[in-house]
Homo-oligomer: A and B are copies of this chain.
Amino acid sequence: MTISEKELKMEESGFIFSLEFTVRDYECDLQGVVNNAVYQHYLEHARHEYLVSRGISFSMLHDEGTDLIVTKVEIEYKYPLRSRDRFVVRLRTEREGNVRLIFIQEILNIPDYKLIAKARVTGVATKNGRPVSPSALTERLGLK
């Protein structure tokens, strides 16, 4: 697949952000593959970079009295990542009900774009510990 074919495929599938990584040796465990927990780090870092790309930072949200909290994570592991593998994390967002914001995320290896893992991460905006409608947030993210 050429780059433009990949970009096309990304658009078709509704993905709106992607970030490239390389596996670092310390992320691998006894079995010689990236430890399962480290995938959550990759997924989180991609989400935070996406939010920053939309002008949203956690510290800013926090100063406005709003916290974005993960309430549920589902990850399917298809193929392992190994030392020095290159990969991309891409994502798209959905709303669910009044208060939940969903991140659909995929990890694809480079250069052949094989699906390594896919995830569905549910976030909730809270104010003083209570869920609130993340309207300010979703507007900035272009979600209705």
Contacts and interface: CB of A to CB of B under 8 A. Distances in A.
Interface of A: 24-26, 28-32, 35-38, 40-41, 44-45, 48, 52, 57-59, 62, 67, 69-77, 83-84
Contacts of A40: 36-37, 40
B37 A25 contact: no
A107 to B, nearest CB: 14
Contacts of A30: 25, 28-29, 32, 58, 83
Contacts of A36: 40, 44, 70, 73
Given A26-B37, A26-B44, A31-B62, 9 more contacts: A25-B30, A26-B35, A29-B29, A31-B58, A36-B44, A37-B37, A52-B84, A59-B83, A73-B74
